[in-house]
Structure 1
Amino acid sequence: MSILIFCIGLLAQACFSARILIQWFLSEKKHEVISPTLFWVFSLIGSYLMFYYGWLRNDFSIIVGQFISFYIYIGNLRLKGVWRRIPVLFRILLAVTPLLAAIGTLQDSSHFVENFLKNEDIPVWLIVFGTAGQFIFTFRFIYQWIYSSRKQVSALPPTFWVISLVGSCMIVIYGVLRHDPILILGQSFGFLSYIRNLMIGHKSQKIKE
């Protein structure tokens, strides 16, 4: 792994770690699980960087996971009324970059298959396992988006954290098998936060009852 690729991945994980720390700190302060705006801002930046990290590493599972969650982050920023405050040109750049990359990939499907699905460095079973882990980890945001859309407010419900734990475990295993320190460090960092958010949510629910 080149130093440049490693730095991009490390910066992406730094953004993801920052969002977790901010959300955790503010939730502890309010004694309930909250969904702060900065959580989604750092999520969007981290996802943008992680998308390119996966692309540079020819890692299909990373790309799929980031592509799906990227637009959910934008959706949550819209719910919070923040997305419209971003300059129009910058919004367009953020929104179209993953789409343009996907279109470029589809135009050269043989190159895509050779580099991602037939990567000699990653056996097919490992690609399937890693992709499954990314899908589960990403599904937490699909669930979160459906939940938030119904409530018309950005929220992080208990099931979000349960799915986070399951998906994160699978990605850590994938990272170990892939010898990818970026994935291992990034996912391992979130474990304590996921568990703690479940505890905070359970406690605040009991108080409300």
Structure 2
Amino acid sequence: MYIMEFIQQYWIYGLGFFAQSLFGARLLVQLFYSEKQGKVVSPTIFWQLSLLASFLFLIYGIIRNDIVIIIGQTLSYFIYVRNLQLKNDWTKIPLVLRIVLLLLPMVTLTWIIFGADQKMSQIFSKNDFTNPIIFMGAIGQLMLNLRFIHQWYYSEKHKTSILPLGFWIISTGASILILIYATYRVDPVLLVAQSMGIVVYIRNIVIHFKGKTSAL
């Protein structure tokens, strides 16, 4: 019994770490292109990796009964799709795959609401928002998704996919909150991901201001 529980837990964390490795890879690729060009850029692969990682992490959140992750990934998923559209790269994906990508999160959430009798009660019973740390984690996750709404607004305004300064500032603040939440939940996936992420966020802020200074 202990061995089976260990294997199950290992598999769950493995899924979470793989999803976060993709999130981490998108940041490293984005930072590489930004360092290379001397300004903050928004490469296509950043959004492609985001889309794949978001769905996998949504599954992880469902398995862990973590409403913070579930809400966050559902909100940001379609913004990733929109950025690919703004970069004129969405239509380059085969039609069948595009349909699957759009249906995946909706099918998953439908399963939670209608297909699993105890799932919703389990999720909310394990997420007491009167607990200040859990509430803090929810705020942090909300900020991580609001940053994409902020990014989406600027992208629509400029008719192209961009990652503005505010995106990185919000990311940094959110990362601090989620690190506190992850420590409380003893979630190694979130701890590793946010520890790496905050370094990239701060570096992009530095690159942004360096670019502004060079332009003067």
Q: TM-score if structure 1 supplies the norm length? A: 0.93
Mapped pair 1:137 → 2:144: yes
**2:212 partner letter:** Q
Query: 1: CA distance between counterparts of 2:82 and 2:153?
Result: 11
Other structure's SS at 2:179 match: helix
Mapped pair 1:28 → 2:35: yes
Mapped pair 1:177 → 2:201: no
Other structure's SS at 1:43 match: helix
Q: Is the 8 A contact 1:15 1:43 kept in 2?
A: yes
Query: 2: CA distance between counterparts of 1:136 and 1:34?
Result: 21
**2:167 partner letter:** F
Q: Note the C-alpha offset of 1:192.
A: 1.4
Q: Is the 8 A contact 1:72 1:142 kept in 2?
A: yes
- Which residue of 12, 15, 19 corresponds with 1:5? 12
Point out 4+ residue stretches in structure 1 off by more than 4 angstroms.
none
* 1:132-168, Cα deviation, whole Å (9 max, x unpaired): 1110111111100011011001000100000000111
Q: Note the C-alpha offset of 1:110.
A: 6.8
Partner of 1:105 in structure 2? Answer: 112
Query: 2: CA distance between counterparts of 1:194 and 1:50?
Result: 20
Alpha-carbon RMSD across the aligned residues, in angstroms, is: 1.6
**2:184 partner letter:** L
Query: 2: CA distance between counterparts of 1:107 and 1:100?
Result: 10
Q: Is the 8 A contact 1:117 1:127 kept in 2?
A: no
Q: Is the 8 A contact 1:60 1:127 kept in 2?
A: no
Query: 1: CA distance between counterparts of 2:39 and 2:180?
Result: 31
Q: Is the 8 A contact 1:15 1:42 kept in 2?
A: yes
Q: Note the C-alpha offset of 1:76.
A: 0.6
Partner of 2:103 in structure 1? Answer: 96
Other structure's SS at 2:39 match: coil
Q: Note the C-alpha offset of 1:85.
A: 1.0
- Which residue of 61, 64, 83 corresponds with 1:76? 83
**1:107 partner letter:** F
**1:11 partner letter:** F
Mapped pair 1:17 → 2:24: yes
Q: Note the C-alpha offset of 1:43.
A: 0.8
Unaligned runs of 5+ in 2: 1-7
Q: Note the C-alpha offset of 1:112.
A: 4.3
Residues 105-124 of structure 1 correspond to what in structure 2 (within 5 A)? Answer: 105-107=112-114, 111-119=118-126, 122-124=127-129
Query: 2: CA distance between counterparts of 1:82 and 1:186?
Result: 27
Residues 184-203 of structure 1 correspond to what in structure 2 (within 5 A)? Answer: 184-203=191-210
**2:170 partner letter:** I
Mapped pair 1:47 → 2:54: yes
Q: Is the 8 A contact 1:158 1:201 kept in 2?
A: yes
Unaligned runs of 5+ in 1: none
Aligned length: 207
Q: Is the 8 A contact 2:112 2:120 kept in 1?
A: no
**1:51 partner letter:** L
